[in-house]
Amino acid sequence: MHTARTLFEKVWSQHLVKDETPETPAILYIDLHLIHEVTTPQAFSLLRERKLGVRRPDLTLGTMDHSTPTTPVRSFKDLAVVGEGAANQVIKMQENCKEFGLELHGFDSDFRGIVHVIGPELGATQPGKTIVCGDSHTSTHGAFGALAFGIGTTEVGHVLATQCLLQRKPKTLAININGQLQSGVTAKDVILATIGHIGVDGGTGHVIEYRGSAIDAMDMEARMTVCNMSIEAGARAGMIAPDETTIAYLDGRPQSPRGKDWDMAVARWLALRGDPGAEFDKSISINADELSPMATFGTNPGMVIPVGDVIPDNTGDASFRKALDYMQLSPGKPLSQSRVDVVFIGSCTNSRVSDLQQAADIMRGRKVADGVRMLVVPGSQQIKKAAELIGLDKVFIESGAEWRESGCSMCLGMNGDTVPAGHLSVSTSNRNFEGRQGIGARTILASPMTAAASAIEGRVADPRRYL
Amino acid sequence: MSATDIDTDQIIPARFLTTTSREGLGSKLFHDWRFTGNGAANPEFILNQSESDGCEILVAGRNFGCGSSREHAPWALLDYGLRAVISTEIADIFRSNSLKNGLLPIVVNKATHDWLLDNPGCEVRIDVEKSTITLPNGTMATYPIDHFARYCLLEGIDQLGFLQNHSDAITNFEETRPWKP
Ligand code: SF4
């Protein structure tokens, strides 16, 4: 008889080429390998050195997102990559994909975009798959009930050559989020509050499963936002059991199964849900009713408070002190007194149509405050098109924001889009590390609504007064 | 380096990731802490102080290596001349990336960690075979390491080769699984 198993355990066991032993790790089969220009060149060099090919080009999908420019252009031919290193990386990516016969969504593809945005968009991300990428936010794809995690470049080489990875089985952590979110409180606030609660290392060694009525009520885009930041809680991956919402999202996507295959896939997907009574190594609960819009004040995503609160005092801790020094913020002061220089809406956390819509609803008929630069960067060319179809671009442009081509952009500032030193940025991305958005840049992480409200006021602002 | 939660963006900032090789990253290690705005060495940063000269082990605060999965982080540490990182907790992906490149991620208890932070520049013995670390005062502690990772380190086994040796099992898995991706 089978013991009750969690969602993670089901997906894990379906992919064991060889189970782990005390001496050797498990050999785990990978169903989808996503690749981008930054973490692959050295892996392709390894293949060349060893005269190896890519085992499953059909399970490998490439895009360019990190080093690519987002300056608005009329045609992709006008896109000019900023910096010699970045340009070289883009060229290498094109050459490598051509040489090894891999599908690449390059500048000429309508599906180009941030790697974690296009996987789901294409329907390549599916429940029950194992998905990896040389990028820590691969956890995003877990929203579909896939086991998805980031790997290093050496491992990218392993997957290219063998379609497998050596892995030790991680532990499981259930995060139960029940209740109903108040209006103005979003998935981003849920995950920020969760990280604040368990800490940036609270999930280390674990795969998280998010459950509960607040998760059930979320659409796929919101679920992706939650799973995206699992890595910021230290976890390997985050997962959500597939349900009708998942299936409705995938129906009709370019790479989704069709006809009889679709019916069979749906039955298989729905059976992935954890069995009643399945046990987790650890479990915590969060009450969704009590959450408010959140904003970070320090230099890691766990340093987070409700946007209207005062900055806590933990100055006995040297790292805390160092973080506040860097942020030029003081304990006891409300975050809302801080003057904002830059607002960034984008990244694999919050660049999908619903994110842009939420921000646009607040911006409509209002202006970006004097002295604030606001950048809106859709996560993919598809999102850009969909947003333009419903006029969101005009809302942003009319309020004084910049409407850009898709890419990672100011999330990590590799492509020339950076926050100047000392400037304070309210960003919908996922990392507020020192210098993440540019040397000396000070980053406050928040939801698209909070970012939009902050752009209007020129200060860190609670979006609820604009609803 | 007692700071906690040192992320890989600090170890090697993103703007230096536009490389397509793994050499030469040591000069960019901890770049924005090591150098001031005009490129001069920051005298307050620990690696620029004389007690760090010639050191091969980095002792850092809890949750070292969190954040981005960039393997450039262990590459930079190794290229700089470091061979081991000691902390009370090391982030998952960084730990795995380190082991694949021969950089030892060593987790010790708080007492050992505190002692190390109080005694910079001292000589510590790390025995990879026995997974022990011995302080100059004679205190010895074992550190946790995956059997297989240790075996690979000691025998110089290449994990890709190990996987390739299982190609029949992989083919068999592909052919017999009940559904295909
Ligand atoms: S948007 Fe940011 S976090 Fe997401 S893949 Fe790009 S750089 Fe990484």
- Please state the domain extents for chain B: 8-120
Q: What is the pLDDT of residues B65-115, one digit of tens each?
A: 999 999 999 999 999 999 999 999 999 999 999 999 999 999 999 999 999
Taking residues B112-136, report their average pLDDT.
94
Q: What is the DSSP letter of B47?
A: G
Assign domain B8-120 one CATH number from 3.40.50.261, 3.20.19.10, 1.20.58.220, 1.10.3720.10: 3.20.19.10
Option in A85, A126, A151 nearest B18 (CB) = A85
What pLDDT is attached to residue A292?
98
Q: What is the percent of chain A where pLDDT is above 70? A: 98
Measured in degrees and rounded to the nearest 5, phi and psi for residue A441 equal: -70, 140
Q: What is the mean pLDDT of residues B138-142?
A: 92
Whether the pLDDT of residue A2 is over 80: the answer is no
Distance A66 CA to ligand 1 centre (A): 7
User: Torsions phi, psi of A345, nearest 5?
Assistant: -110, 115
Q: Tell me the three state secondary structure of residue A395.
A: helix
Is residue A71 scored above 90 in pLDDT? no
Whose tokens are 């550190």? That residue is B143
Average pLDDT for A169-197 = 98
**Centre of ligand 1 from the C-alpha of residue B15, in Å:** 13
Q: What pairs with residue A108 in β-bridges?
A: none
- Look at the block and give the residue holding tokens 């975009």: A113
A422-430 average pLDDT score: 98
Average pLDDT for residues A395-407, to the nearest whole number?
A: 96
- pLDDT confidence bin for A213, thresholds 50/70/90: very high
Residue A322: list chain B partners with CB under 8 A.
3
Which ligand 1 atom lies nearest to the CA of residue A349? 4
What's the rounded Cα separation, in Å, for the pair A419 and A412?
10
**Which of A27, A54, A166, A427 has the highest number of chain B CBs within 10 A, making it the mutation to test binding with B?**
A166
pLDDT band (50, 70, 90) for residue A176: very high
Lowest mean pLDDT among A73-87, A101-115, A278-292, A333-347: A73-87
Cα gap A287→A179, rounded to integer Å: 6
Query: So what's the pLDDT on residue A75?
Result: 67
pLDDT of residue B157: 82
Pocket test for ligand 1, best of A348, A409, A419 (most atoms within 8 A of CB): A348
Statement: residue B177 has pLDDT above 60: yes
A28 with A15: CB under 8 angstroms?
Answer: yes
| Rounded percentage of chain B residues whose pLDDT exceeds 90 | 82
- Kindly tell me the burial class for residue A302, based on how many C-beta atoms sit within 10 Å of its own C-beta (0-12, 13-18, 19 or more): buried
The pick from A38, A63, A65 for probing ligand 1's pocket by mutation, whose C-beta has the most ligand atoms within 8 angstroms, reads A65
Contact A166, A27 (CB under 8 A): yes
Mean pLDDT of A55-79: 84
Contacts of A258 (CB under 8 A, 6+ apart): none
Residue nearest to atom 2 of ligand 1 (CA): A411
Amino acid letter, residue A202: G
Query: Do A158 and A166 meet the contact criterion of CB atoms below 8 Å apart?
Result: yes
- Strand runs (DSSP E) across A151-288, as ranges? 164-167, 171-178, 206-211, 237-239, 282-287
Listed by number, the residues of chain B in 142-181 with a beta carbon closer than 8 Å to a beta carbon of chain A are 146-148, 151, 159-160, 162-164, 166-167, 169-170, 173-174, 177, 179, 181
Instruction: Look at residue A1 and tell me whether its pLDDT is greater than 60.
Output: no
Kindly report the protein residue whose alpha carbon is nearest to atom 6 of ligand 1: A408
Distance CA A128, CA A241 (A): 9
Question: What is the phi-psi region of residue A312: left when phi exceeds 0, alpha when psi lies from -120 to 50, beta otherwise?
Answer: beta
Give pLDDT, residue B115. 95
Average pLDDT over residues B112-135: 94
Mean pLDDT score of chain A, rounded to an integer?
A: 95
Dist. CA A385–CA A400, nearest whole Å: 20
Count CB neighbours of B108 within 10 A: 21
Going A150 to A155 to A160 to A164, the CA torsion angle's sign is negative
pLDDT value of position A315 = 84
CB A3 within 8 A of CB A132: no
State in Å, rounded, how far the first CA of chain A is from the last one.
53
Contact A209, A175 (CB under 8 A): yes
Q: What's this model's pTM, rounded to 2 decimal places? A: 0.95
Q: Give the separation between CA A39 and CA A439, rounded to whole angstroms.
A: 22
Whole-number Cα distances in Å, A75 to A25, A335, A386, B109: 48, 41, 17, 57
Which 3 state secondary structure label does DSSP give B130?
A: coil
Give me the half-sphere count of Cα atoms (radius 13 Å) on the Cβ side of residue A149: 28
Collapsing DSSP to helix, strand or coil, A449 comes out as: helix
How many angstroms separate the CA of residue A389 from the nearest CA in chain B? 33
CA B35–ligand 1 middle distance (angstroms): 26
Residues 6+ apart with CB under 8 A from B47: B29, B30, B34
pLDDT at A356 over 60: yes
B-chain CB neighbours of A421 within 8 Å are 37
- The C-alpha of A465 sits at a distance from chain B's nearest C-alpha, in angstroms, of 34
Closest to B145 measured CA to CA, from B113, B112, B106, B110: B106
Closest B-chain CA to A265 = B179
pLDDT one-digit tens code per residue, A104-132: 998 889 999 999 999 999 999 999 999 99
Q: Is A221 a residue whose pLDDT tops 90? A: yes
Q: For residues A359 and A392, what is the distance between their CA atoms, to the nearest angstrom?
A: 9
- Band of pLDDT at residue A78, cut at 50, 70 and 90: low
Tokens 């987070």 -> residue: A304
